[in-house]
Amino acid sequence: MTNRILTEEGWQERIREVIGVDAAYLPDQTLEKPDIISIAEANIIGLIPDYETIPEDKKVYLESATVYECAIQVCGSMPARIPLKESGPHVSFELDIDWEKRKADFAEKRDIHISKLVKTPVATYFDIS
């Protein structure tokens, strides 16, 4: 399936940069699976049905929202991908990453970008005139 929003080369790296991992932990093949990119794009398109008519100067928000949506899709598998503890002859460290919190942070950033694209009607509840 062809991407509808993230169409430029290197889109996989954008997602890895947001998550903070390299290709060894999150390969292109994983991000290119329909369970990640296709669902993420479908979710964003569901929120912004007229995504194709967005002006060029606003497409950065659409793409960024999609990148964050992909990051949200991947968060569930990240504890299995990144070792919790590493040690060597001279060093040892443990990672304590709260992936549920990261997922919530990604959702907040996604929503901020979507809010730049979606116009909400102004509601008047009382007429004070």
Q: What is the 3-state secondary structure (H, E, C) of the chain?
A: CCCCCCCCCCHHHHHHHHHCCCCCCCCHHHHCCHHHHHHHHHHHHHHCCCHHHCCHHHHHHHHHHHHHHHHHHHHCCHHHHCCCEEECCCCEEECCCCHHHHHHHHHHHHHHHHHCCCCCCCCCCCCCC
Considering only residues 80 and 83, tell me which one the structure prediction assigns the higher pLDDT. 80
Residue boundaries of the structural domains of the chain: 11-115
pLDDT of res. 125: 64
- pLDDT score for 49: 84
Q: What is the percentage of the chain residues whose pLDDT exceeds 90?
A: 74
Q: What is the pTM of this model?
A: 0.85
- Report which of residues 16 and 126 the model is more confident about: 16
Tokens read off for 60: 């950065």
49 or 115: which leads in pLDDT: 115
d(CA 129, CA 42): 44
